Amino acid sequence: RTARFTLDPAFTVGDVNPRLFGSFVEHLGRCVYTGIFEPGHPTADAAGLRQDVLDLVRELGVTTIRYPGGNFVSGYKWEDSVGPVEDRPRRLDLAWRSTETNRFGLSEYIAFLKKIGPQAEPMMAVNLGTRGVAEALELQEYSNHPSGTALSDLRVEHGDKDPFGIRMWCLGNEMDGPWQTGHKTAEEYGRVAAETARAMRQIDPGVELVACGSSSQAMETFAEWEATVLKETYDLVDYISLHAYYEPLDGDVDSFLASAVDMESFIENVIVTCDHIGARLKSKKKINLSFDEWNVWYLSRTEAQVSALDWPEAPCLLEDNYSVTDAVVFGSLLIALLRHADRVTVACLAQLVNVIAPIMTEPGGPAWRQTTFFPFAQASRYGRGEVLDVRVDSPTYETKKYGETDLLHATAVRAADGTVTVFAVNRGRTESLPLEVALGGLGLDSVVEHSVLSDDDPDARNTLAEPERVTPHPAEGTTLDDGRLSAVLEPLSWNVIRLA
């Protein structure tokens, strides 16, 4: 059977905020050290930043980059990470049972963003695990105040004359999680988040603040947590965060391929929770969603790895090597974000390099693209503009976790110049999926490109030995005649169809 949908310029979801293509750099494993930062590497600049990695980061098209954690931030002392490198202390990082040298810190992070280019924007998390309001304010003053106070002058003395201009701030990280250093109940967190937000706005009413939502939809406290936190913070914050990671459990690949069903319901459930609190408070304000950690992550393999560590520096941790199947799920997660672009206005792919990342590096050696690199780069490049409302009529398949699920998952984005890009996933593992799209009223008459990521071997991956084993290829036979697009989506595939 054929999957179908109709695109009409009158039916839209909303504009894509460039911040939807954010990412995340945490002091975790080799994300920073031997990832983005490796003094002595043949491509490193004077600041120790790997140029081969920077080139790939630019190609990936990331915008906002969240920093410095993650679980790491709940023990983070920002003062350790500034000033002369030789004076910076070594510290225990409780989150990842590692030793943090602080050779890379706040100033280096800002310099890294500048090197990426103007599209890169900071998103800084404050520690509300072991610390509180005072330290958040100190970090804000050090970072953003021009000069003439002890902390802003200290930044100038440290060599950063210009303020960092950090606009987006996360009020802690995953404070609902019992694994979090300084884990809190919703009531406790709601209070400290509100106090911190109020004080940070006293320094600068223009900051954009993210309150911690749930670490996943599966958390026992989900929804009640958001409601409680928002009752305290509704007028003080701009966003609530969502985090979600997916992996195949018990070999159930069919459910894994449908992971975006969970992601979409998570988003929709958070929206209704936010709007419910807004209604109770008789507020006209809408809270937007910051999906500031999302990815495929083989999390069940990680816990044992971390507990076996004996405080090494930058160990190999969470270095998942992604297959074609993983990339198709990953693409479907991107589609889920785009389909909710009216309310999900920030999203961060966790993470950027080496740690559950689209970019991998060898210390002293090359950097390469994982399979997941391609869907992200294509979505960031062609997914800018207005999301069109896509309601699919698709054949279905049965999954253990989500019941009957559409084989087709799709969205479409109309750029300012009127061109349209369809992003589509065929979740079917064995059969091709014919697709027909009615494009009435869009004034399109040609297929510019139909790019596919698929492989005869769904387990194929890119590695140091074979870094270009998997790359997108052109599809055959895609046509656009009389306002009707016809294509065939290969089994288990991520598709980008560009129309002009």
Find out whether 379 and 338 touch, Cβ atoms under 8 Å. yes
CB nearer ligand AHR, residue 234 or residue 294: 294
Q: Give me the residue whose beta carbon is nearest to ligand AHR.
A: 70
Q: Does 70 bind ligand AHR (CB under 6 A)?
A: yes
Q: Does 125 bind ligand AHR (CB under 6 A)?
A: no
Q: According to the binding rule CB under 6 A, does residue 129 interact with ligand AHR?
A: no
Look up 121 and say whether it is catalytic. Answer: no
* 214 near ligand AHR, judged by CB under 6 A: no
Judged by CB under 6 A, the residue of 71, 354, 370, 394 near ligand AHR is 71
Query: Of the residues 174, 226, 232, 264, which is catalytic?
Result: 174
Tell me: does residue 320 bind ligand AHR (CB under 6 A): no
Q: 14 in the Ramachandran plot: left (φ > 0), alpha (ψ -120 to 50) or beta?
A: left
Nearer to ligand AHR, 26 or 455 (CB): 26
Site for ligand AHR in 363-422 (CB under 6 A): none
Q: Which stretch binds ligand AHR (CB under 6 A): 43-51, 66-74, 423-431, 463-471?
A: 66-74
Find the shortest distance in angstroms from Cβ 73 to ligand AHR. 8
Q: Is 174 in the site for ligand AHR (CB under 6 A)?
A: yes
Q: Does 173 bind ligand AHR (CB under 6 A)?
A: yes
**350 belongs to the binding site for ligand AHR (CB under 6 A):** yes
- Tell me which of 100, 232, 293, 490 is the catalytic residue: 293
Is residue 247 among the annotated active site residues?
no
List binders of ligand AHR among 278-307 (CB under 6 A). 293
Pick between residue 238 and residue 293 the one whose CB is nearest to ligand AHR.
293
Among 69, 129, 315, 383, binds ligand AHR (CB under 6 A): 69
Active-site residues, by number, are 174, 293
> Where does this chain bind ligand AHR (CB under 6 A)?
26, 69-71, 173-174, 293, 350-351
